[in-house]
Amino acid sequence: MSGNQANLKLQPEPAAGTAPAILSVDDVVKRFETPDGPVVAVDHMSLDVRQGEFVSVIGPSGCGKSTLFNLIGGLLSPTEGRISIAGEEVRGPHPSIGMVFQEESTFPWRSVEENVAFSLEVQGVGKAERLERARHFIAMVGLRGFERRYPTELSGGMRQRVAMARTLAFEPKLLLMDEPFAALDEQTRLLLGDKVLQIQQELNQTVVLITHNITEAVQLSDRILIMTYRPGRTKRFVEIKLPRPRTSEIVGSDAFGHYVAEIWNDLREEASKGMHDQETMAERRRR
Ligand SMILES: Nc1ncnc2c1ncn2[C@@H]1O[C@H](COP(=O)(O)OP(=O)(O)OP(=O)(O)O)[C@@H](O)[C@H]1O
């Protein structure tokens, strides 16, 4: 074991005696039937996430991250296994799970406050209350003063914060995010990470983040699940023992660098398999 590895601790399950799991992914398999035969995208994966915990799922392109996101969010059903939130089986979109997507999902015809109030409107919350709650969450994501603006008047990072505020406004037990900052530049991404850390601490929010960005995963997480490339399995869990509360300043620390290096070692192996696979497929098509 290298010196760096000694800094990392594998933790397949949450430690005993801590908060109970709010999300439970239990031995889940997802198989797609395709014209070329079955594709196993998620292969016997298990994950327990405690109340208030921040877990990131990282893996190379095509390893099954988005499939896992869609399974947890109830947009896909597992072929085998079970997913539950607060003890209830997830059988479709669940009110306790709030999703933030990679693609921008704000409504361009609604102002910021109308966007954020939307989920409350759907729930039948009265106008005065929903606007008050919307303004609270708009302030939380750092957009006070922009309530009456429209998405086209905002930057990409601001629009993603609107999407996050809209999801947080219905107070989900689990915030489930799929690469919400993937389209943003690195500085904006790091600074938005600070916002996410603040919000998570303020709400004691349980979060599962799907990402392929190692820096983002280390900056934000309590634990990182590293996935293998095809079929998507758990390669290992890494517990991030950086102090909280955290800010993006931590990115420059030695401890941060050690985590990034170790995770890259694991990912490099998996990403290389992916690249080799893609090159072989391209070669086959050329023939
Ligand atoms: N609806 C589907 N039908 C058939 N195969 C699918 C379907 N969705 C995903 N797959 C396959 O499952 C595997 C995992 O895909 P998935 O999109 O979950 O990976 P990913 O890690 O999110 O990739 P990326 O980071 O590039 O978005 C891939 O081989 C993909 O082609």
pTM for the model: 0.89
Q: What are the tens digits of pLDDT across the range 221-262?
A: 999 999 999 889 999 999 999 999 999 999 999 999 999 999
Q: Is 26 within the bounds of a domain?
A: no
Residues 194 and 158 in one domain: no
3-state secondary structure of 112: helix
From the CA of 228, how far away is ligand 1's center (Å)?
Answer: 13
Is there an atom of ligand 1 within 6 Å of 278 CB?
Answer: no
Q: Alpha-carbon Rg of the chain, whole angstroms?
A: 19
Mean pLDDT for the chain?
89
ipTM, two decimals, is 0.96
Q: Is 144 within the bounds of a domain?
A: yes
Residues 238 and 284 in one domain: yes
Is there an atom of ligand 1 within 6 Å of 63 CB?
Answer: yes
Residue-by-residue DSSP string for 125-191: --HHHHHHHHHHHHHHTT-TT-TT--GGGS-HHHHHHHHHHHHHTT--SEEEEESTTTTS-HHHHHH
* Nearest protein CA to atom 5 of ligand 1, as residue: 32
The total of structural domains in the chain comes to: 2
Residues 87 and 114 in one domain: no
Tokens 């933790």 identify what position?
A: 11
Whether 229 and 271 have beta carbons less than 8 Å apart is answered as: yes
Residues 194 and 275 in one domain: yes
| pLDDT tens digits in sequence order for the chain, 287 residues long | 333 433 333 344 444 446 789 999 999 999 999 998 999 999 999 999 999 999 999 999 989 999 999 999 999 999 999 999 999 999 999 999 999 998 878 999 999 999 999 988 988 999 999 999 999 999 999 999 999 999 999 998 899 999 999 999 989 999 999 998 888 888 888 888 998 999 999 999 999 999 999 999 999 999 999 999 988 999 999 999 999 999 999 999 999 999 999 999 999 988 888 787 777 777 777 77
What CATH number has the domain bearing residue 238? 3.40.50.300
Percent of the chain residues past pLDDT 90, beyond the cut? 74
Is there an atom of ligand 1 within 6 Å of 39 CB?
Answer: yes
For residue 137, the enclosing domain spans 104-171
The pair phi, psi for residue 160, each rounded to 5°, is -65, -30
Residues 127 and 206 in one domain: no
User: Closest ligand 1 atom to the C-alpha of 66?
Assistant: 22
Q: Is 59 within the bounds of a domain?
A: yes
